[in-house]
Amino acid sequence: MRVVRSIRTMQRLVSQAKRSGKRVGFVPTMGALHDGHRSLLRRCRRENDLAVLSIFVNPKQFGLREDFAKYPRREHDDKKLAKKEKVDIMFVPSVKEMYPEGYLTYIEVEKMTQFLCGRSRPGHFKGVTTVVGKLLNIVTPDVLYLGQKDAQQAAVLKRMARDLNFPVAVRVCPTVREADGLAMSSRNQYLPAGQRREAAVLYRALREARQGVAAGNRSSAGIAGGIRSRIGRESSGRIDYIECVDADTILPLKRIQGKTIIALAVWFGKTRLIDNIIVRT
């Protein structure tokens, strides 16, 4: 596996691979890799000739009071995991390499970024689309792999790729969960033991919501209310949002219909966790 830090080298290696007819798969991450990332890397490895992983903690997607400084950075461990998963290239640019002095250009997807995490984290998705747009231009993959855990991010990036004609197929892979159902996230490690135990309520509440929909409950307010009261009964979590949104447009739905994402963000102490499930009616 090659560790590449410069954009020019990354571009040169991919264009060589493409000239010899190789199909390129790409998994963008911010590192602190866990089994969720591992499942993306495995699929990327299986489906492509060249598997590229990027690790870049992107300052432009963190708000001023968010956890950019304390976000876990584990390049050594990440490298071991990437090698084990047979990644060909691990791209680890510096902030200066990605955003040199005088950087001025941004990508913004409208409307779909106004709800859920977009409402609670103003500017977050502008940072995500900008960095992923840049990474797509640098890596020029045939296939981009994203996780369903970040459902809004996946929908926004799909839309960006479509609207801006990036020649890439986007694959959204299922959320990987801990044994008690908690969605894997690099932020789980912030949780002290008590909050970590409590956080398993999120998936229990989402599963109960899915049963409610299966039993015929179509009211978004009713479904959100059920989730809210279960979280309140079984944990000290503080709810940021619980919403039912259309899976493609990410616009809130009054009544659940078609492919719907039931999504939530909940604070446990200073850690904000997100999770979601998809239901179809």
| Positions marked active-site | 37
**Applying CB under 6 A, does 29 fall inside the site for ligand PAF?**
yes
- 3-class secondary structure, 89: strand
Q: Closest by alpha carbon to 150, among 187, 180, 179, 123?
A: 187
Name residue 245's beta-bridge partners: 252, 261
Among 52, 109, 131, 245, binds ligand PAF (CB under 6 A): 131
State the nearest-atom distance from the C-beta of 91 to ligand PAF, in Å: 11
**Applying CB under 6 A, does 243 fall inside the site for ligand PAF?**
no
Residues 54-83 binding ligand PAF (CB under 6 A) are: 58, 61
State the nearest-atom distance from the C-beta of 62 to ligand PAF, in Å: 10
Query: 27 or 279: whose CB is closer to ligand PAF?
Result: 27
Q: Closest by alpha carbon to 56, among 158, 131, 143?
A: 131
Query: 185 or 260: whose CB is closer to ligand PAF?
Result: 185
Measured in whole angstroms, how far is the alpha carbon of residue 124 from the centre of its chain? Answer: 12
Query: 29 or 39: whose CB is closer to ligand PAF?
Result: 29
Query: 148 or 220: whose CB is closer to ligand PAF?
Result: 148
**Applying CB under 6 A, does 28 fall inside the site for ligand PAF?**
yes
Helix (H), strand (E), coil (C) string for 132-194: HHHHHHHHCCCEEEEEHHHHHHHHHHHHHHHHCCCCCEEEEECCCECCCCCECCHHHHHCCHH
Among 13, 14, 81, 132, binds ligand PAF (CB under 6 A): 132
**Applying CB under 6 A, does 30 fall inside the site for ligand PAF?**
yes
Instruction: Report the alpha-carbon distance of residue 127 to residue 8 in Å, rounded.
Output: 22
Q: By CB under 6 A, which span of 3-11, 23-31, 164-172, 175-183 interacts with ligand PAF?
A: 23-31
Alpha-carbon distances, residue 228 vs 206, 232, 269 (angstroms): 10, 6, 17
**Applying CB under 6 A, does 128 fall inside the site for ligand PAF?**
yes
Q: Closest by alpha carbon to 131, among 110, 108, 115?
A: 108
Query: 37 or 230: whose CB is closer to ligand PAF?
Result: 37
Q: Which residues bind ligand PAF (CB under 6 A)?
A: 28-30, 58, 61, 128, 131-132, 150, 153
